[in-house]
């Protein structure tokens, strides 16, 4: 199975559970407007209260295995995201989001798998939750990237760039695919999505030497194997040397843009994209 599916299927299942949990949570239903939310998106976390020794043993595990990438305080380190601002963490009640990621890794993003038993995982979850709660209960300016940090752009310039030099409007429309994008994502998450939508799907058509062309979502491609998932969800794969194929990867246009942007272009574009609520 392709890694993407390995990770996303259990996650999708978890998200459903979380959504149900929130339906019963009065705190999540009416978040107090004055308090900052985690990563400025989503509901305030509803975390269990954990025994201090459980948090401490989770902290120990975290320092050994996670802190290098995610920071000692889970607030971001080398290459790993700030977990205290993570929506995945804030919507996690007892490890249902965190557990699958720890156990399966996010190999394509450089996160390895960790073989942790249930008690170890529970302590790790307790530590991460407690760090998020701690970070959120801070007053004043928090370290890390806030939505308010990303408001230095000029909306009109951004709109001009979107429709002109940025060539964004070639593929995207503010009333089409991008309608509501700033409701779905905010702050850093929105900016990351704007610059490179990691989860964008590519399409592929494969023509075997004998047989008809099959099209679907590109599921895997290296220099030896190509695979797709067809409209019925069935996985097909071939040796690259046995077939002709054509990949349609519109996301590559984002890669082409990287060496064209100025920092001001990005900030202006961000100002514009944030209006697409």
Partner 1 sequence: MNLLQRVFIRSGVVLALVSPAPMLVGQGVSSETLRHPPVDSWPLYHGDYSGKRHSALTQITPQNVKNLTLSWAFQTDQSNPIKAAPILVDGILYFTVPDNIWAIEARSGRLIWHYTAPPNKAFHIGQRGVAMYKGSLYYLSSDAHLLSLDARNGKVNWDVEVADSTKGQWATMSPLIVGNHVLVSASGDFDNLQGFVRSVDPENGKTQWEWKATPPLGTPKSTTGGNAWMTGTYDPDLNLVYWGTGNPTPVLNGTVRPGDNLYTCSIVALNPETGKLVWAFQPSPHDTHDWDAVEIPVLVDGDFHGQPRKMLMQASRNGYFFVLDRTNGKSLLTSTFGPVNWTLGVDKDGRPIPNPAKEPAPDGRLIAPDEGGLTNYRSPSFDPKTGLFIVSAAPSYSLYFSKPADGTYGWAGADYSLWSTGVLTAIDYQTGKIRWKHELGDGRSGAGVLTTASGLTFTGDTFGNFLALDTRDGKTLWHSNSGSHIQSGAITYELDGHQVVLMSSGSVLFAWQLPKSDEHKSVARATK
Which of 25, 275 has the CB closer to partner 1? 275
3-state secondary structure (DSSP) of residue 19: helix
Nearest distance in Å: CB 152, partner 1: 4
Per-residue binder mask for partner 1 (CB under 8 A), 91-110, x = binder: ----------------xxxx
From candidates 14, 43, 54, 266, binder to partner 1 by CB under 8 A: 266
Contacts of 12 (CB under 8 A, 6+ apart): none
**Binders of partner 1 in range 13-52 (CB under 8 A):** none
CB of 67 to partner 1, least distance (A): 6
Using CB under 8 A as the criterion, what x/- string covers residues 145-184 for binding partner 1? x---xxxx--------------------------------
Cβ-based nearer residue to partner 1, 112 or 119? 112
Q: How many residues bind partner 1 (CB under 8 A)?
A: 49
Nearer to partner 1, 31 or 112 (CB): 112
**From candidates 63, 173, 213, 237, binder to partner 1 by CB under 8 A:** 63
Q: Using the rule CB under 8 A, is 199 a contact of partner 1?
A: no
Rounded to the nearest whole angstrom, what is the least distance from the CB of residue 58 to partner 1 in the complex?
12
State the Cα–Cα distance between residues 165 and 172, nearest whole angstrom.
14
Pick out residues in 113-152 that bind partner 1 (CB under 8 A).
113-115, 140-145, 149-152
In the block, residue with structure tokens 């976390």: 45
Least distance in Å: CB of 257 to partner 1?
10
User: Measured from the CB atom, is 223 or 232 closer to partner 1?
Assistant: 223
**Side-chain-facing half-sphere of 158: CA atoms under 13 Å:** 20
Phi and psi dihedrals of 220, rounded to 5? -160, 140
Spatial separation of the C-alpha atoms in residues 229 and 247, rounded to whole Å: 13
Q: Does 256 bind partner 1 (CB under 8 A)?
A: no
Q: How far is the CB of 56 from partner 1 (least distance, A)?
A: 11
**Residue 235 binding partner 1, by CB under 8 A:** no
Interaction site with partner 1 (CB under 8 A) = 60, 63-65, 67-68, 71-72, 76-79, 81-82, 107-110, 112-115, 140-145, 149-152, 188, 191-192, 195-196, 198, 222-224, 254-255, 258-259, 261, 263, 266-267
């Amino acid at each position: 199975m392709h890694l993407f599916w390995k990770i996303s299927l259990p996650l999708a299942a978890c998200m459903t559970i979380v959504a149900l949990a929130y339906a019963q949570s009065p705190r999540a239903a009416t978040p107090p407007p004055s308090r900052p939310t985690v990563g400025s998106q989503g509901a305030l976390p509803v975390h269990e209260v954990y025994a201090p020794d459980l948090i401490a043993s989770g902290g120990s595990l975290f320092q050994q295995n996670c802190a290098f990438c995610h920071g000692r305080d889970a607030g971001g380190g080398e290459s790993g995201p700030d977990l205290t601002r993570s929506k995945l963490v804030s919507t996690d009640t007892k490890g249902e989001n965190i557990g699958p990621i720890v156990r399966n890794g996010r190999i394509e993003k450089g996160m390895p798998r960790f073989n942790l038993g249930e008690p170890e995982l529970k302590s790790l979850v307790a530590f991460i939750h407690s760090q998020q709660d701690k970070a959120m209960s801070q007053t004043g300016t928090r370290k890390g990237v806030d939505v308010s940090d990303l408001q230095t752009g000029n909306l009109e310039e951004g709109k001009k760039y979107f429709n002109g030099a940025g060539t964004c409007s070639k593929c995207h429309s503010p009333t089409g695919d991008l309608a509501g994008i700033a409701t779905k994502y905010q702050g850093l998450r929105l900016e990351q999505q704007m610059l490179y939508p990691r989860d964008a799907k590519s399409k592929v058509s494969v023509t075997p030497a004998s047989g008809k062309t099959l099209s679907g979502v590109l599921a895997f491609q290296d220099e030896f194997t190509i695979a797709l998932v067809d409209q019925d969800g069935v996985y097909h794969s071939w040796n690259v040397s046995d077939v002709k194929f054509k990949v349609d990867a519109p996301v590559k246009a984002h890669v082409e843009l990287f060496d064209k942007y100025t920092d001001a272009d990005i900030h202006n574009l961000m100002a514009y994209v944030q209006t697409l609520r």
